[in-house]
Structure 1
Amino acid sequence: MSLAEITGFVLVGEMLMLGVATTVVVGRTGLMRAREQFRDRLFEVYPHIGLLLGVLVVNKVAREFGPELSWVIGWNITSRIYAIEGNFVGTVQSVARPELTTYFSFMYIYGYVFILVFPFVAYFALADSKPLKKAAVAFAVNYGLGLVCYILFISYGPRNLIPDVVHPLLYSTYPESQILTGQVNANTNVFPSLHTSLSVSSALLAYQTRDSYPRWTLIAIPMAASIIVATMYLGIHWATDVCAGSVLGVGSVLIADRYVSDDSPE
């Protein structure tokens, strides 16, 4: 399959998931509110969305030369990570079953994209613009600091360092997925886990909006947990990457809380 075909399948799946979630979580009232406040809301949040888009553009450009720059100024921490946790990821994979591999592969690809995109749909429909602003800032911080770490630290994933212990379950089961993930990931940039950090941030933001969207909270938290486990189960990340990603995810939300609070009029 070509990259275009794989991307098409993912987009169709995401549209279906977003459509169902919007109906169940946001509802007709929320959609009507979003339509009524569309222009005003865009005016309110364009600096925050602009920040996120700017970081994503820099991220995209930097990933072209980032791996080469890492070998010049970076620090290879792969052996140190392995010294800390050994074959822990292999132990996680000891429970591998075809059903689990299918589930975690789905979460790693489809669930991850969904948990990043849906907050912007849901929070746009709220009367309060703060949750949408926080999501944009938190994700921007995640991507920005993540890029810095990817340049400063060289780290190969467990499937690359200890292939006799850890198996690339995602790529061996669904080899075409590597065509898609290869567009955004390199073998040397697994620390920290952005899948983890962004999922943690999304879950925390969902918890903050639990009064407005209780159903979204019930969806986001277990989905984030599944994505985090998937990064190790599939042999992509070390537990150390997950821990660092969790810290980054929490820190990004704290920064967003402070930034949006200071940015709001008294």
Structure 2
Amino acid sequence: MSLFTVLTDVVAVVLVLHLLSLGAVRRLTGRKFRRGSLRENVRAVGPTAVVLGVLLLANGAVRDVGVELSWLIGVNITGAIHAVEGTFVADLQSIASPELTAYFSFVYVFGYVFLLTFPIVLYALHDDARPLAATLVAYALNYGIGLVCYVLFVAYGPRNFMPGAVESLLFTNWPEVQHLTSQVNENTNVFPSLHTSLSVTVALLAARYRSAAPGWLPIATVGATSVAVATMYLGIHWLTDVLAGIVLAVFSVAVGARVAEGRHGDEPSATETDRRPAGGVIEQFRR
């Protein structure tokens, strides 16, 4: 199976998930998506989208150079992470089963791409530009800060650092996916976990702007949790990487929301009617 075949499978599955989810959101909210909202939002977030696009291109262009630079100026923290965590990931894999491996493999590849792309479509069709703007700014911060961390820190994942104790369950279950992961990942770039940070970013934004699509929050929460666990269950990331990813997500959402609400207003739109109070951390990410 070639890279093209894997990409085709991913696109096809994610497209189906998009169509099903858009239909479900429309039924749950009773709202019709307006083309006018799409045009207005695209114009409103155009500059931010360009910045995100540049970061994505830069991330791919400097991937190989970044690894070489990291070995010159970066600090190898793999041993320190292992000293703190010990066999946590190996212990997590002790519950492995064919069913769990199939689920987490699906989540890591298909579910992750869906989680990242669906909010862009969903918020682009909403009549408030703030959720889309906050999402793009938060994504840009995740990728930008993540790229810097990958240069400053050399960190091998548990499957590479202790192969005798931790299995590469993703590749064992679906070896062809290496055609895809080898194009976007390096073995030394695991701190922080961008899979975790971006997925948690989606869930936090779904909480903050839950009135844009009330039914999206539980889906995003389950999806983000599953992705975070999948990164460890599959032997790709340490718990430390996941925790660092969560911190990055909280920071990115806080800044992204502040920027979006500063540019597009901080008052709820006429369609935002869900104002039930909530306490704790979630309240910081809601309006």
Amino acid aligned to 2:86: G
**What SS class does the counterpart of residue 214 from structure 1 fall into?**
coil
Compute the displacement of 1:31 (Å).
5.2
Amino acid aligned to 2:14: E
Structure 2 match to 1:263: 263
Closer/same/farther in 2, CA of residues 259 and 32 from structure 1, 3 Å limit? closer
Closer/same/farther in 2, CA of residues 220 and 265 from structure 1, 3 Å limit? closer
Contact 2:129 2:264 in 1 (8 A): no
5 Å matches for 1:59-208? 59-208=59-208
Compute the displacement of 1:265 (Å).
5.3
TM normalised by structure 2 equals 0.89
Summarize deviations over 1:226-247 as a string: whole Å, max 9, x none.
Answer: 0000000000000000010110
Amino acid aligned to 2:207: Y
Compute the displacement of 1:173 (Å).
1.2
Compute the displacement of 1:263 (Å).
2.3
Compute the displacement of 1:23 (Å).
1.0
**What SS class does the counterpart of residue 37 from structure 1 fall into?**
helix
Structure 2 match to 1:12: 12
Compute the displacement of 1:200 (Å).
0.6
Compute the displacement of 1:111 (Å).
0.4
Closer/same/farther in 2, CA of residues 144 and 26 from structure 1, 3 Å limit? farther
**What SS class does the counterpart of residue 207 from structure 1 fall into?**
helix
Query: How far apart in 1 are the matches of 2:233 and 2:78?
Result: 18
Query: How far apart in 1 are the matches of 2:108 and 2:32?
Result: 28
Contact 1:30 1:126 in 2 (8 A): no
Query: How far apart in 2 are the matches of 1:212 and 1:40?
Result: 16
Query: How far apart in 2 are the matches of 1:72 and 1:152?
Result: 9
> Can you give the 5+ residue segments of structure 2 that lack an aligned partner in the other structure?
267-287
Query: How far apart in 2 are the matches of 1:31 and 1:140?
Result: 29
Query: How far apart in 2 are the matches of 1:145 and 1:26?
Result: 35
Query: How far apart in 2 are the matches of 1:38 and 1:205?
Result: 19
Query: How far apart in 2 are the matches of 1:248 and 1:36?
Result: 34
Query: How far apart in 2 are the matches of 1:138 and 1:62?
Result: 21
Amino acid aligned to 1:104: F
Compute the displacement of 1:30 (Å).
4.9
Q: Alignment length, in residue pairs?
A: 265
- Root-mean-square deviation (CA, aligned residues, Å) is 1.4
Structure 2 match to 1:238: 238
Amino acid aligned to 2:228: I
Structure 2 match to 1:45: 45
Amino acid aligned to 1:220: A
Compute the displacement of 1:29 (Å).
6.5
Contact 1:26 1:125 in 2 (8 A): no
**More off after superposition, 39-48 vs 245-254:** 39-48
Query: How far apart in 1 are the matches of 2:249 and 2:265?
Result: 26
TM normalised by structure 1 equals 0.96
Contact 2:59 2:147 in 1 (8 A): yes
Compute the displacement of 1:184 (Å).
0.3
**More off after superposition, 114-123 vs 18-27:** 18-27
Compute the displacement of 1:212 (Å).
2.7
Summarize deviations over 1:157-200 as a string: whole Å, max 9, x none.
Answer: 00011111111000111111111111100000000000000011
Contact 1:31 1:125 in 2 (8 A): no
Query: How far apart in 2 are the matches of 1:39 and 1:124?
Result: 8
